[in-house]
């Protein structure tokens, strides 16, 4: 697995970036939140990554924040949610918005994501609610 890339930002677009590391240019798929926060082309950049292997190829996904990458991995752990769907979700909603929608069972917010219908949103809420609660720090009970 490639945990992160540290190099020069050669090119950027809303859906991917090119990062040069040691003379190699890596095409890295990324959400809109990463694109919006990227430095100018030619600048140094550090992306937390996930390497996804499938029958028809290899894809690299990258995020400016490790929290975004970890949430992306959490989304892809759900049934019938692949990396492209997870990337669309992270491009449509921030992590706090997403967590709030899941905790409140807010289907309308989740359905705003292109390609996510009512049934998928219901499944996301059902599967993700327990996983989010398990990862959230527990409040000090005072004992």
Structural Rg of the chain based on CA atoms: 16
Domains and CATH numbers, the chain: 4-63 (2.40.50.140), 66-135 (1.10.150.20)
Q: Going residue by residue through the chain (143 aa), what tens digit of pLDDT does each one get?
A: 799 999 999 999 999 999 999 999 999 999 999 999 999 999 999 999 999 998 889 999 999 999 999 999 999 999 999 999 999 999 999 999 999 999 999 999 999 988 899 999 999 999 998 888 766 665 554 44
Q: Could you count the other beta carbons within 10 Å of the beta carbon of residue 9?
A: 18
**pLDDT for position 115:** 86
């Amino acid at each position: 697995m490639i945990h992160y890339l540290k190099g020069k930002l050669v090119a950027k677009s809303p859906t991917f970036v090119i990062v040069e590391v040691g003379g190699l240019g890596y095409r890295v798929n990324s959400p809109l939140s990463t694109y919006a926060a990227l430095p100018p082309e030619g600048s140094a950049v550090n992306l937390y990554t996930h390497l996804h292997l499938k029958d028809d190829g290899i894809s690299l996904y990258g995020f400016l924040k490790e929290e975004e990458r970890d949430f992306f991995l959490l989304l892809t752990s759900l049934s019938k949610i692949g990396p492209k769907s997870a990337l669309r979700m992270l491009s449509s909603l921030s992590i706090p918005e997403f967590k709030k929608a899941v905790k409140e069972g807010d289907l309308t917010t989740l359905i705003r994501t292109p390609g996510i219908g009512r049934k998928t949103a219901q499944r996301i809420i059902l599967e993700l609610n327990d996983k989010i609660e398990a990862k959230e720090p527990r409040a000090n009970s005072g004992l």
